[in-house]
Amino acid sequence: MQELPADRLEQLVRRAGRGDAVAWRDLVTLFSPRVYALMLARCRDQDLAEEITQAVFVTVAEKLAGYRDLGRFRSWIFQIAMNRLRDEVRRRGRHAKPAGGAEDLDALSGMATLGYGDVSPEALKALPAALSVLSEAERQVVHLRHMAGMSYQAIAELHGEPLGTLLARHHRAMAKLRQALQDSGITLEELQ
């Protein structure tokens, strides 16, 4: 998905906050696939991911008129999503499963619809095992960057970390993924 320039996103958020139905539809169209992909990657349950995605947009709709930190909208919406997931997991009395099992194929196959082009079936099958070598923090950065399509700056803001720390974590995670995939006979480039 094409990244919307910050000034255009701010205009869209302002218009949607004032009740512009077209702007609201555009925000939902722009962010719902990313929120859903992130939730699916994090919880590996399509129904739960869909439910949380809907809840995120209900929350955004309720709070958008009063939202003023326009430069952080991307971080804000994904923070709402992560909070909703945590709350729902807690409410249901179960834990979100980290990526890494065969059941992740549905979540990971969504990568092709998020601008990753044709991903070979072999690469798609090797990815869950490769993701399992990452720490939870590394997996989260990879999901936010590559499933949710967030910028490094937005991820750093979301986690309240310096950009350099986040970039180093992403770099380590990608090196681990690259090695794990190479061990499976797949190159990371086959996923991009």
What confidence tier does 90 reach under pLDDT thresholds 50, 70, 90? confident
* Whole-prediction pTM: 0.63
**152 versus 127: which is more confidently predicted?**
152
Q: What is the pLDDT of residue 188?
A: 56
- How many angstroms separate the Cα of 146 from the Cα of each of 116, 141, 174? 9, 8, 11
List the one residue out of 61, 79, 81 whose CA is nearest residue 13: 61
Q: DSSP assignment of 95-143, as one string? A: -PPPS-SGGGHHHHHGGGGGTT----HHHHHHHHHHHTTS-HHHHHHHI
Report domain extents, the chain. Answer: 6-92, 102-191
**59 versus 42: which is more confidently predicted?**
59
- Which class does domain 6-92 fall in? mainly alpha
- pLDDT higher than threshold 50 for residue 113: no
**CATH for the stretch 102-191:** 1.10.10.10
What confidence tier does 142 reach under pLDDT thresholds 50, 70, 90? confident
